[in-house]
Structure 1
């Protein structure tokens, strides 16, 4: 129910008795801006500035109400200097919807202020790596490279900025989403793909700036935070269940040719490691740049690097080992798929009509124009023929965040409005190609870039290109923060590269880091390794027998939990309950609102990974319940405890009253 209150010169708007908007002449609800942006993109890193040319605060207001076809609509009209802007408020399907009029010229920026309290917590905005609680900072929402280091105070970030403009910041992300959840038990979602900036730093309001007026701003109030999160995915979409084989072992990332991969598999299988799949990212060929090993972006089997792979795929599948590959939404210039797309006129263009070639770091590639139906159909055929037809049971659907803002697209919409939408288009291309092949229950794809469309279209997210280190903003700890923030945005399936990826500026993956990362990954929906961009610099899953044994132990645990994991993934698909959950979704207490170093795996497992180099213990606050250590079987009551966590014995607890208690208790 929508209600209004006028008191002390302020207009307050309530929905289901919760105050959501407040307007006064001193602090108006609506401000209009005229802005002129400048956008500079360098290899997926965006540098965006906005010059404010004029500002107009709309201090006066008029409230009117009308009813038609049984539906009540309240209209707030704000005005100043002869210009007006209107907001229509209505209730549909148990949610409040705000619809906006067009911006009066010359204004092209809309600033809305939602009511806030000083003690409020905020989560979401897609995938955030540095901060889980977003209160106190502003978050530009723009898909791009996450950046190296992602903290301007760290040496790694400063080096990356100085040498390659690639350092990133606390807010840079592959997966922005204009959705946030408040500890006051509501969510807000803005139906827009334009650039936006959500500022949660002000004490009495959340200031949302849009460069494209949202089609709708949706707000939902629920009795609990868990129900709020469930309602996000009910609105935007839910991920499907995963193919059953993904729980049967680890997916090993490897490359270098048929013989090399088969030898690595033999080494792991001889040590009884359960292997569900081989993720061979260079199945289409390789190329080398100063960054390290890169891939040949022509999505066809390289039979010189991988002779006989077509028959090996069949043989391995009979053994229960699937082969996965790699693809992204671009085609390498002067290669067969590029030439075919060029001939069929399926590529993004420059203003002069020439093909738009994007610099991806010492090589160029073209954009398949997903706003053109013929291009979508063609790329789905590429996936169907070259990947599925070849026998791959899955792939990394990489990139999606590089769309230049000056590319000319077939639908004639400005690329500034298509940029954030692009990862969702790319996800849908993959999903539809798999569905149309009739193999939705067999094939897995995973992505790093995302948008709100990803909830309905992307099967599985992965955290992207973490540093091979322990840093809070870009190392092992950041994958937990990212999983939790996505969970609060409605995306319930997430995993990461075991051991991280980015190996630059002296960073090298250590044995300890790889094993600790594997410990955490065992308690997610999917275990998958990555060699990193410079494999020879990194400790690998087969670097010594002790590491192989560690991988085996954590994989065995992951496989043992298959019934529980399948239950959680089904819950996510059917009810919108994320697999990895913040503690407060089941224990709604303020002491857990900022926790980002531990999480619930479903309702019944609490995971507190070791996130510091050299540490053999963790301090964890357990909610009020009886918890049993998964490995030592020692019982703990709620409260703060220092838990021993030597290698291969992570601090994981199960709820004694769990329906799965017998499964957990029998783990040896």
Structure 2
């Protein structure tokens, strides 16, 4: 037995007669032997069916072969390793350093017929794993596989619940723990390295085994990048250096709540007056039905024809500047699809700007009792035209922002202008949609003034999606699809490089006899006061839900919590600026600042809001107290002023006083003390 040890720029490759090990800055990345190979290749045929953004995904696998032999060849800037199995099957791995000194692994199947790769990265049993985009059910991903495919998040998202069963029976919409609008092939290990995959194909990251992580790629190639750092904060700075960072938010975002209102100009005015007269700090009106409405069995839907409906919103062009002078922005709604029965779709079709079917005809997607064409964002002319729609119909109208919805519905059997398979483009689509919105702002000089927020995303969304929201939670208390699910969603997204996140106050999805209760709305309002943005939503069936103006007590509650939020404005702005500068998320897992506290690595329902506030939202019905964990530090209860040193504590948690603590040594301590008097 002979061995060879080579070290280049932090990469250590040790070869032997039976295999090799690859380490990067003392982290073992690959371990290969003939008995325990690290690479498999194969051939499969994807069986992907979409129904209203819900996907059934199967693989008709024809072959999966372990490549147990490895031949290492030194190259000027690294190595090439040829993996083989006999004479017929092979693949090549290139190991090197990219232009920013990251470890670079480039895999390629040698046979044209092989379109599947399985790579096993070395792991330690004690590792914790975070990231993979926005994960709603789990924060530490260790112990489970996570398929990565942008889709609807699912209703219920837990196969053990009655709601999920009902949604599955109705239209395969129940979902599971890994269903997400924003998947991403990026994970952070507690060995303090990140792994990011450049591809956009369907992938499955399986963290179940104690000794390895198996990454599966439905493609014939894969490019992986790794970086290490001494701290998680440093590591996130490196990761966001690769992916991009969000700019700072418009200043008006911190001046109160954005009220989700539908029904027309006078309804907006009436509700705005009622809230302001009740002492509520209001920064905006978000009217998603600005372009009109379409009633379906699901509930009230927006008319997908992105023009101001002067019939539903008379004199809106006059009211917008009036509201703006009063410090109230007007926000609207758009998505990358156009209703098949409306004139924008007709115009796009005439210009050839819609994606096609295999016969060259325009592709129309069923969205729930109506159809819509898909704007082909890979067509430069269609791209410019749709940016023009945003500029002319939203920005020129005076909108202060909008929800840039959807992005996850790209069918895999549509044909795109750029010639790339829609199966490969599917995950990348939301990031393209984000870039389209971003460029519309950039080219009109409105960056920093106008805000758009998104639910769908992928690698690259970090640079272009100004703000994420958590999507369509149920109006119930469920762990996997209620208010609790928003917390791991924000934390996992922060560990994936996107540090700005908020949610619909009160949730959205109102199905199967669900009705938003007053308590749920108020608890969600409490939680949202300690996020970067407060915004309400009526839900898809507004009449079934308790609303922000349903009674005087609710209005008073919003008055209190928006005062809390606006009082914290300088602190939140500072945290957002840190995110823009270095990628440190606004809502942070506790271990970012308490690395030596082993307990913090398993916490998914509490977080640090900036450096100095610890928040543990109440997410169970009927509670008047709450138990949480404080890492060792000098903590002060925001509402009582009582000091705590650390450990598990139980505190009173009435409505309007969610469990929140601040660090006694914080430079913001004087600001935090003022909250006790509110």
The Cα shift of 1:87 comes to 1.1
- The answer as to whether partners of 2:90 and 2:109 remain within 8 angstroms in 1 is no
1:172-321 correspondence runs (5 A)? 172-214=179-221, 216-321=223-328
Paired residues of 2:92 and 2:110 also in contact (CA < 8 A): no
Alignment of 1:72-111 (within 5 A): 72-82=77-87, 83-92=89-98, 93-111=100-118
Q: Which runs of 5+ in 1 are unaligned?
A: none
Structure 2 residue corresponding to 1:22, chosen from 31, 46, 54: 31
Offset of residue 33 of structure 1: 1.4
Name the residue aligned to 2:648.
Answer: 640
1:351-408 Cα deviation digits (max 9, x unpaired): 1121111000000000000000000000000000000011111000000000000101
Q: How does 1:312-351 map to 2 (within 5 A)?
A: 312-351=319-358
The answer on whether the counterparts of 2:521 and 2:547 sit within 8 Å (CA) in structure 1 is yes
Q: Does 1:487 align with 2:478?
A: no
Q: Which residue of 1 aligns with 2:559?
A: 552
* Moved beyond 4 Å, runs of 4+: 6-10
State the 1:4 CA deviation. Answer: 2.2
Using the TM superposition, give the Cα deviation of residue 214 of structure 1 relative to its aligned residue in structure 2, in angstroms. 5.0
- Asked if structure 1 preserves the Cα contact closer than 8 Å seen for 2:41 and 2:114, the reply is yes
Q: CA deviation at 1:616?
A: 1.4
- Secondary structure class of the residue paired with 1:238: coil
Tell me, yes or no, if the aligned pair for 1:46 and 1:144 is still in contact at 8 Å.
yes
| Offset of residue 7 of structure 1 | 6.7
Give the aligned partner of residue 396 of structure 1: 403
Instruction: Give me the whole-angstrom Cα distance separating, in 1, the residues matched to 2:509 and 2:56.
Output: 21
Task: State the TM-score, normalizing by the size of structure 2.
Answer: 0.97
- Which among 589, 600, 612 is matched to residue 592 of structure 1? 600
The answer to whether structure 1 residue 46 and structure 2 residue 46 are counterparts is no
Deviations 1:579-632 (A, max 9, x none): 000000110132111101100011110001111111111111111110111111
Alignment partner of 1:420: what SS? coil
Q: 3-state SS of the aligned residue for 1:461?
A: strand
Q: Distance in 2 between matches of 1:49 and 1:570?
A: 43
Mapped to 2, the partners of 1:215 and 1:410 lie a distance apart of: 24
| Counterpart residue number, 1:468 | 475
Contact 2:355-2:362 within 8 A present in 1 as well: yes
CA distance in 1, matches of 2:578, 2:496: 16
State the alpha-carbon separation in 1 of the partners of residues 359 and 19 from structure 2: 53
User: Aligned residue for 1:517?
Assistant: 524
Number of aligned residue pairs? 664
User: What is aligned with 1:660?
Assistant: 668
What's the counterpart of residue 454 of structure 1? 461
Query: Which residue does the alignment assign to 2:632?
Result: 624
Q: State the distance in 1 between where 2:97 and 2:627 align.
A: 45
Measure, in 1, the Cα distance between the counterparts of 2:189 and 2:639. Answer: 36
CA contact 2:80–2:94 (8 Å) conserved in 1: yes
TM-aligned CA deviation for residue 496 of structure 1: 0.2
Alpha-carbon contact 2:289-2:302 (below 8 Å) kept:
yes
Q: Are the counterparts in 2 of residues 610 and 616 from structure 1 also a CA contact under 8 Å? A: no
- Residues 304-331 of structure 1: per-residue CA shift (max 9 Å, x gap): 1111111000100000000000000000
Aligned-pair distance for 1:10?
5.0
Find the partner of 2:41 among 32, 47, 62: 32
Distance in 1 of aligned mates of 2:220 and 2:266: 55
Distance in 2 separating the partners of 1:8 and 1:513:
63
> 2:466 & 2:506 partners in 1: Cα distance?
22
User: Does the residue aligned with 2:631 lie in a helix, a strand or coil?
Assistant: strand
| Alpha-carbon distance change, 292 to 619 in structure 1, aligned in 2, over 3 angstroms | same
Aligned counterpart in structure 2 of residue 135 of structure 1, from 121, 142, 146: 142
TM-score normalised over the length of structure 1:
0.98
Shift of 1:97: 0.8
In the alignment, which residue of structure 1 is the partner of 2:5?
none
- Asked if the contact 2:305–2:338 (Cα under 8 Å) also holds between the matched residues in 1, the reply is yes
- Tell me how far 1:438 sits from its aligned partner: 0.7
Distance in 2 (alpha carbons) for counterparts of 1:471 and 1:448: 20
